[in-house]
Structures are given as structure tokens and as C-alpha cells.
Chain A
Amino acid sequence: MSGLRIRKGKALSQHPAIELIGIDKSFGAVHANKNINLSVAKGTIHGIIGENGAGKSTLMSILYGFYQADRGEIRVDGQSVAIKDSQAAIGHGIGMVHQHFMLVENFSVLENIMLGAEGGQLLAKGRSGARAELKRLEDEYGLEVDPDAIIEDLPVGTQQRVEILKALYRGADILILDEPTGVLTPAEADHLFKVLKVLRDQGKTVILITHKLREIMAITDDVSVMRRGEMVATRKTAETTVEELAELMVGRRVLLRVEKGEPKVGKVLLSVRNLTVKDSRGVVMVDDVSFDVREGEIVGIAGVAGNGQSELLEAIAGIRKPASGEIQLDGKPIADADPARLRELGLAHIPEDRHHMGLVLKFEEYENAVLGYHRDKRYGSGALLDLNAIRADAAEKIEKYDIRPPNPRLKTANFSGGNQQKIVVAREIERDPKALIIGQPTRGVDIGAIEFIHRRIVEMRDAGKAILLVSVELDEIRSLSDRILVMFAGKVVGEKGADASEQTLGLMMAGIAA
């Protein structure tokens, strides 16, 4: 079987399974990994935890040969190796289970497993061997799956099992799992953990990338913490606490406190009742969620990314049709309204992803300054756009929001992240909406712009607007919100006041406390 590589001397060697020494990687201006050192002992489950964008996935992609490090050394089993592509990684016994499965959906399980390790030019030759090997792996690790089932007919948890089997089939001794539970139900996640423990007990090494503290505490032996591209600490899991890890993850940042007075709360403007939203695959992402946002308050939704916040925002913004439930804006039902109608009704939306939604990067700045409001009378009474009005309007916002460079004719892609975000914020806020829903207002934005945007949001609140804020930055939620709802696995698991401690919220976000 050419698909399997028996690694010699694995029982004898005392070297760590993986050592990373001084790994450094930049993407343009983004320094994703800064001089990373990491040692993973054999036969352990090693967790790597960190917030979104901390550089975990980049590091693992380097280990799997998807990217090349700018500097640094990789040692597998004590040997310095060059991993120039995935083939090389597989050759060194490294397997990876990607966050987005790398499966061919209209292939059978067996075909997916064999892809790239077919065992000869003809499939028939390898097939029976593969089937037998698959059976052996299933029995050994408790990974039952029907080899003839077609992938797209299988539930997500089973698809993931196929991914794990794929790696094992290729003779992986070291298995990297990138946010494996993001797409799983709690029961499926529990099953996965059992499998991982079996794998470890059989001598495999598992690297688990996650931002969920609960998972780290539940199954890892060691844990390394990454923050902003750096490896900040490695601990024995048994010797650390959730609190310590949470603190290491977020770091002792200069808290960007925003001066704000007591909220003057009025009537309910935005009301969500029993809202359930499914994603394109039919998986429930928002599960029976209800809450209100009143005039003059900021309601923050805290939670680890992927717990339904994005889908909640999109449902309210009219981008994603809810499966069931009701949404009201100032007493009017809006669950069926499209984004254009919602804007007319006075709901502004700063989307989570400005590159794909909030802006058309190839447009000039002034064109983006009216995106979504371009049908408005003030930008042209008939079918035509009044460019003078639009450009004057854009210039005014540029002035007011200190957008640099102050050039409405510049292509939007040429503005920095912070200035791009200001273009979106200015557009949505300056329309003087009744309610404002905001996703990740300061993602990829420099400190100066963060403060500026935060102040604007608070001004909106003081002007009596209802504001719903979603952010994975706990700091941001804490410093801006008047009330905090915590989302976990699609549900609102609790509500806290603005004075809730970081630890309390962190535990709720991890699904541990309510």
C-alpha cells in the first residue's frame, strides 16, 4: 500500500513530535507570525488557543506546507525538515483537518479517502486494500463511517470523521485540527473528543487549534497561547486555569475606555422574538433568540466567533431570511423586508466584513459613500445620480470623519483599513437612522480610528438611537455596551450589565457558566 507510510523508530525516539523554531511569516503589511517557538510532545493533545487573527491558522498552514515561512525551522521527530508543499507534510506524517473540509462532495467516502493515495494507476488495485485499511482504522479509533456513502448526504460531524480518516489513511502520526468544533453540534463535538483521546492513547500526536477555552480544558494535555502573531505562553493544562488562559489570550491591553454618561433609555425600537436562522446548509445558527434594544442604549452581543452572531446580524439586516421568528423595528414587522426597505425604515447597518459587503473596493470613495442609499432623492431626483450632490456629501463626511487621504475620487481599495471603516461608519451614521446594527466595528482598524469610531457610536446612543453591537473583541463590548448579551452555540445564554467582569463573560462565552 503506497498510501501508507510506516514510520520507523517512532517508539524509540525521545524527540518531540514537532518543534517550530523562530517561525516568522508576513502577508504584505500583516505580520501574521512573529518568531514563533513551539514544541509538541509525542502522544499528547496539544492545544493552541488564541483570538481570531492571532495567527494560529497561519502557523498550522506553514506546518502543513500550504504557506512557506519567511524564516525559521521546522523539526519533525528531531529532524530538521523542509515542508514545501502538502505532499511533503504528508510524507513527514503530518495530517490536517481543515476548518472548511477539503472533501469532494459528490464522491463517496472511499473515493475521498483514496484521493492522492490511490495505491496505483488503477483504482481497482487500491480499492480493496483501502477498504480493508479503512475498516481497520474505524475499528481501532471508533470512527464508524459507511465507505460507500456520498459525502454530501452525510451530516457535518460524519464528514469531519472522513477528514480525520483521510489523514490517518495517509499514515499521519501528527494530526492538526483547525477549529474542529465550529461546525459541530455539542453531541458531535463530544464524540470528536472521544476519538481524539483514543488517537492519543494509540500514540498519535494531536494539535488542536481553537478559541474555545472549554475545549482546551476538556481534552488537552498542554496548551500554547497565541496573541497577535506571538506565542505568549505554553502551560500544562492540568496546571493552568480558565482565568489564566483567558487573560493570556486577551493580554493586559490598554483598555480603550470611552467616556459616556448614564443611558437615557426610551421605548423599545428593535425587538427580536424567537428568531431562528439557518445557514445555507440548513444548520441552525441562531436558535430561538429573543431580545429588545431600546432608544438610547447600546446592547452588546459578546461571543466567540461562529456562535451565530453573524447570522443574527444578517437576519436583522434583511440579508438572510430567518427560518422563523419575528423582528420589529419601531413596532413594524421587518422580518421579510429587504435591505433597501430597511434603510428606508431607518435601520442602518455597519456590516462585519467591509471588504465583501460594506464597500465595493473598486469604486471611488464617493461612490461607496452612498452604497445602499443611492436611490435616495437627495442623490438625484429621477433615474440619474446627482454626482455633485454625492461628491459634496462625501467631501463633507471626509471632513467630519477625518478620512485620509481626503480625496473622494480615490479608489476605495487604496484607503487604509481604518479609513475604509470610517467611510462605512460615516455613511451609516450620517443618515440619522432610528436604529443601528453594527458588526465588528473596529476589526483591522488602527488605534486612532478605533477611538474615533467608538466615540461616534456613543454619540449615536446619546442621541437616542437604538444600537445593537456585535463584536468578538470583549473589550469593545465591555467599554461600549449598556447591556451585554452573551451568545453561545446560537443561543443567548445570559445577560449582564456593563460592569460584568471579563472573566465572567469569558466563561459564559465558553459555554461554561450562564
Chain B
Amino acid sequence: MEARGKKVLIRIYRPQIKKFLDAEVEVTKGTTILDILKYVKKNIDGSLAFRYQCEMGSCGSCGVVVNGKPVLACQTEVLSLKKDKIIIRPLYNFPVIKDLVVDQEEFMFKKYYKIQPLLKINCEFDELISPRGEFIIPPKVQEKISVYARCINCGLCMAACPTVSFNDEFLGPYVLLSMYRYYLDPRIGMKESLIEKTVGNGKGIISCHYIRSCSRVCPENIEVAECIQKLKKEYFKNVLLITRYEKPEINIRKFLSSPTSKILQ
């Protein structure tokens, strides 16, 4: 870390020993929370455990709580926090494995695996394994899906959600967002079943109180809370049988079924 920076006190909470690891670190413009964690691991205590990979906000590995707010360590500049004391903790609402490493498998991904929002693709298996062209999807529809598909699976929304904190059954913003993304997609079928899966016994959309913590912490600025509200609306429309789901057509590319196919097989 460069000299002539500002000195800040870093306190990293280590739940397994219920103690803070304290360090005074000099930070300059651009220094991120992740830079500090790496600095501490390299120079002060090599046993400090935290996850990180891409260092550019793409992989969603480095979620931590900084001064009470779930953030991505690699995307959080220390000076922008305007504090002399920085407290870093593991993400809320997840069981801790060690230091800042939490178990996202159990409380987030497993719920998602169970739901499987991609229920059926609107074409035959043969078309999937040797496609003749693409589905015709209007750019406006595609853009809308892409916004929600931007989710990087970091789980900050799950860490911020008050309902998740007391209701283990609740699917949570991450899972519901993914369901909404597939609900919007005309390529995906069985929408009635998908929408059915969003409700039930405390786990579903009705348990969301629209506090919007999820939207506020999302590093991709996705309006997660709004998605959940929209799912509620779709649920009631579905119950009242006023939604019709249309399958898109396929734009057939002629050359794909002609000269090259010999070589492909």
C-alpha cells in the first residue's frame, strides 16, 4: 500500500474465535476493501479467510458486511466510506464457515436448485441438439430479460433481507428474482407451474414486506423488490386466468440444414 495515504483503523470480525483482528492501514484513492483484506493476509495474518476471484465485480465472490452494509469488497472504495474506523464482518443471514467465508450453498443455492425456474424450453429436444435457427424475440423483451439476468449471484440481497433473517423457509430475493427472469422469457414454458412455485407456506412472494433492502444493496442496481411485487401481480392474474402465454417462432437459417451438416455429424 502506498505511503502518504490516510490512516484508517480496520476491524475484521472473526466469528469462530469471537474476536476482532485489528489493523491500522494507510489507504489512498482507489484502495478497496478487498485490497485491505489482501494486505492484511499478506502482511499481518495469513490465516485470515475470505473469498475473492475476479476483482472487477463480475463473479460475486467477495460479499462482506462493511460498517453494517452488505457490499462487494472489490467494488467498495475505502475513502468513499468517509470513516476512520471500518468494521468488516461476514455476510448476515448465512452460516459462517470461517472468518469472512460464509456458506451460501445451504441457504441460497440449494433453495434455488430446488425451485429450478427453467422448467421447460418451448421447443422439441431435437431442435435443442441440432438447432435450425433462433427464436424470434423482440429486442425490447430481450432487453428487459437481460436486466434481470445481470444478477451475479453474490447473495448481498439475501444478507440484507429482514424476512430471510427470521424466516428460513422464505425463498428470498435472489431466488425470486431468478424466477421472475424466467417468467419473463418467452422461450421458457410451463409458466403456470412456475408461478405456482412462488407461493406457499411462508416461503413465497406473500412473505415479502417490500422493505427494499435487497434493491438498495444490489451491486448491479437491479430492482429486486419490484420484481417480487410484479410476481405477485402475475400470480393473481394467473389465478384469474387472464394471462395467455405465447410461444415465439423460430427464424430458420437455411444453410444450417444444408451443406455443412455432413461435416458436423
Q: Are these two chains actual partners, yes or no?
A: no
Interface set of B (CB-CB < 8 Å, partner A): none
Interface set of A (CB-CB < 8 Å, partner B): none
